[in-house]
A and B are shown apart, each in its own frame.
Chain A
């Protein structure tokens, strides 16, 4: 047993909040949970300007960078730039997800097959408009029952 249950959320930086909201919501199906914008008291008291998004069972606090963040070349679709977030879908739905990415014209790299002795099956790699790297994959352990990830509400602050 590990000493940690889950990763409850991440704060990631973007250059344009509106563009990021549109990408995560319209392309990946995330929902806006809350916004800390220029008007709110907590923002005036030093809280980062951000939108909290839920994407499946994950929470992203999408923060506006205060200065320009270096991002890899526009042509690079697969990478990490320190970190990369990966979402799994059932193997049976994986081809559908590729079709959906194509339909919304999000360029991706892959699919890439993982070694059979590992838990991952096949991945595709892409990025958000700022250049944060993302991945969608199916997993060989999709039928294993793990303990449940605690729902939204655990975190989102930053």
Chain B
């Protein structure tokens, strides 16, 4: 079976309707549609977001306690960056702490978050995604000398943490895959046992050649140009990035001295930040 529907509303039990309604209007920034518009045998207040989604507050005599480890129960308000800036000002003016994101290490670049609790202790994320999430971030490592090409076995994936790339030797030669996730600039990790790159920020997966597998519509991992010096040293230029639509063997640099990256058919990308090491989960 499939519902084939859409999310309609979140019902939240509250112990004091007036107090909670004021919180959701003045602090969170929802709109009031009205009271008692829904078939509940308790007082209710219906609030609107800008999309079809609604929030229904229901006043109950007692809000049930969370499990002791209930800190993982939460809901996330999605704001535009403009709304987020306003929310931060509003929250600060009201005396809320906004600077600390307790789970910062799990956020991608350009993912902004504030945690807030409602009067009954429900935890909410207030989140927004900025442009940094899709910008091209150079590591500042310049050209990295990885070692002699013979040191990398066919089938190997070697992570260069400082340069933010993976050196891949596949059957066609060498690829340097930028570790920045093409979704929102998380940092991907190679999961050998699953034979894919995994981004823990929102779960994107990329196959061994860095091609996205899934339904978020992400581009393949970007390429940093590889060349092999006459003495056999594999060099990766971490200051240049190329986008591609998928994998083709011509993207790989043959394993022989003097071989160089061919950028024909690939799209060069302008670097937004010359040095940005970001946050790595692992």
Contact = CB atoms under 8 A, between A and B. Distances in A.
Interface residues of B, number: 80
A5 B1 contact: no
Contacts of A147: 50-51
B55 to A, nearest CB: 8
Nearest to B282: A41
A28 B53 contact: no
A30 to B, nearest CB: 9
Nearest to B53: A6
B3 A97 contact: yes
B189 A63 contact: no
Given A6-B49, A8-B76, A47-B106, A83 B201 contact: no
Given A5-B78, A10-B75, A56-B7, A149 B87 contact: no
A83 B122 contact: yes
Interface string B12-33: 1100000000000000111101
A146 B52 CA distance: 6
A105 B51 CA distance: 33
A63 B74 CA distance: 10
A2 B73 contact: no
B72 A157 contact: no
Contact of B83 (A4, A115, A139): A4
Interface of B: 1-13, 28-31, 33-34, 36-39, 46, 48-56, 58, 60, 63-70, 72-80, 83, 86-87, 90, 103, 105-107, 120, 122, 125, 127, 129, 183-184, 189, 198, 200-205, 214-216, 281-282
Interface of A: 1-13, 26-29, 31, 33-34, 36, 40-42, 45, 47-48, 50, 52, 54-58, 61, 63, 65-70, 80-90, 93, 97, 100-101, 103-104, 112-115, 117-120, 123, 133, 135-137, 139, 141, 144, 146-158
For the complex of A and B, 10 pairs with smallest distance between CB atoms: A34-B203, A3-B29, A29-B2, A118-B37, A66-B69, A88-B8, A89-B5, A69-B67, A58-B7, A8-B78
